[in-house]
Structure 1
Amino acid sequence: MSRKPTDVPAPPPSLRALLPAHPQSRGPELPQRHVELKRKRQAAACETCREHKTKCDGNRPSCTACLRRGSECKFEAGPKETHSQALKRKFDSLQGKASSLQQVYDLLRTRPEDEAWSIFRWIRDGESPESILQFVHHGDLLLQLSLLAETGPQTDRFTSTSDARGIDAIP
């Protein structure tokens, strides 16, 4: 037994079927209920509202609660960022800085004394750990390139072989 989409199931016997209302007659006017709009939920509260455990409307540069209190309004999270996302971003940033500092420390321990003093002077001059690492790594690369240029191809000590691109390679 197939049903057509226009078939309407019959109402249970105890209920009578309702007809649609006429468009002109609305019937008795019902009192309109006062509907309160829900407050838009913010991704993250400002630090002052978090500290006071109050609702924050997220207005920037200063939220309503901070304006009312007369306190400084500071957001750790971005406008579309949750508090946990801000913490993760901050953690990743700190982890990167710690890694750079550890690498600079390792350079100070392992490099010859004159190079370690140069690195120390860069630190005293206010260079960032990232720029110090770049200086050292670029310096190492330049040193390797200059050593290669000084020695040149030494075919008398090594036998040259040709690779697939036709470039001489030393095994």
Structure 2
Amino acid sequence: MAGPYRSILPMPRPNEHLGNPMAETSQKRHTISLACQRCRQKKVKCDGRRPHCEACSTKEAECHYNDDPENTTHAHLIRDFRRLEQQQKELLEVFDMLKTRPQAEADVIYQHLRLSNNITSLLSLFNKRDPAPQIYISSTSTTNPRQLDSQHSTTTNTTD
């Protein structure tokens, strides 16, 4: 089979390619966190070298990086993580209030939760442990939570 074709060799085993000049050494491509503005605009792979990346150097173009730390993917992930952590904490507080408060008060909290989509205001309203729990107990099924907001604010204003 001596033709214009090269012979097909079996796949080399690991560490066997060291002495074999036919084996190609493949390097893993390194990802970078931020590409330069020109590479982003041209949609070219940027190697992230500073002050000039390889793509800009070969084209003799100006290489500029936008290093705004607020706009990095890492910063977005941290912000989202903190927001979700706070949201989880608030939801666990509401769940704990529903579990531990007396039934009448838990019913009012539940009604307020269904009518409002702001957990933070719910927590600030019911988490104060003010000396007027009779508002919650006496008005379990007849008062809606918006009326409780006004009753709660007048009660807390008179006790201050």
**TM > 0.5 fold call:** no
Q: TM-score, normalised by structure 2?
A: 0.41
Choose between structure 1 and 2 for higher RCO, CA contacts under 8 A separated by at least 6 residues: 2
**Larger helix percent:** 2
The higher radius of gyration belongs to: 1
